[in-house]
């Protein structure tokens, strides 16, 4: 599997898992979603909110690529005040934003090529510190970080006796031979 195909798989996995988590969350009351459960972002809604704030920040940082055309909806989003900003206090608008972001990510990755992955990415982090790193490696971080926060959500779901089923990337890896 090529490096580009691996990113396309990660983008599909990202969408697949986000859909599963939002489907599971849809069965909860607002009180259950916003209850402080002592987690890093407090409630179940917290990591959902953080991920719709963080994803556009990383997408804005991507180097100018011919493939950037699918990103305008994500790039047009307003800059949040902080990474823990709660832009939506309800699940429905969060899901709408997440769906738009996932479509943008999949479209972006569909047009990405090996040359784009090798480009240097110069950016400022949330504290204003400058960095220059390989775009391909930073993009790997982007997907890994999404998985990290989905793990937080699945833990909170498990504590609330909600089973989201299998969450492994392995489920989307095609059989060979």
Read off the pLDDT of each residue in 156-176 and give the average, rounded to a whole number: 93
pLDDT of residue 98: 95
Higher per-residue pLDDT: 62 or 24: 24
In the chain, which ranges are continuous DSSP H helix? 3-25, 30-34, 45-61, 72-75, 91-110, 114-117, 135-159
Give yes or no for a contact between 164 and 21, defined as CB atoms under 8 angstroms apart. yes
Tens digit of each residue's pLDDT (9 = 90 or more) over 76-104:
777 776 666 667 778 999 999 999 999 98
**Residues with Cβ < 8 Å from 83, sequence gap 6 or more?**
50, 53, 54, 57, 126
**Look-up of token digits 């180097």:** 63
User: What percent of the chain lies above the pLDDT cut of 70?
Assistant: 92
pLDDT of residue 31: 93
pLDDT of residue 65: 62
Tens digit of each residue's pLDDT (9 = 90 or more) over 106-132:
988 888 888 889 889 998 888 889 999
Read off the pLDDT of each residue in 168-176 and give the average, rounded to a whole number: 94
| Widest distance between CA atoms in the chain | 50
Structure confidence at residue 1 as a pLDDT band (50, 70, 90): confident
DSSP output for 80-128: PSSTT--S-SSHHHHHHHHHHHHHHHHHHHHT--HHHHTSEEEEE-TTS
């Amino acid at each position: 599997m090529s490096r580009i195909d691996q990113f396309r798989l990660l983008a599909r996995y990202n969408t697949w898992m986000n859909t599963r988590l939002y489907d599971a969350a849809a069965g909860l009351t607002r009180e259950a979603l916003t209850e402080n459960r002592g987690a890093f972002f407090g409630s179940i809604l917290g990591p959902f909110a953080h991920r719709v704030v963080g994803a556009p920040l990383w997408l804005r940082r991507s180097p100018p690529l011919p493939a950037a055309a699918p990103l305008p909806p994500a790039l047009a989003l307003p800059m949040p005040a902080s990474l823990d900003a709660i832009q939506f206090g309800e699940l429905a608008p969060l899901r709408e934003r997440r769906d738009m972001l996932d479509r943008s990510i999949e479209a972006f990755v569909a047009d990405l090529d090996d040359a784009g992955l090798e480009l240097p990415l110069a950016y400022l982090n949330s504290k204003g510190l400058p960095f220059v790193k390989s775009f391909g490696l930073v993009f790997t971080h982007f997907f890994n970080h999404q998985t990290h926060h989905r793990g937080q959500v699945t833990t909170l779901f498990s504590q609330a006796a909600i089973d989201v089923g299998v969450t492994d990337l392995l489920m989307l890896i095609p059989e060979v031979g």
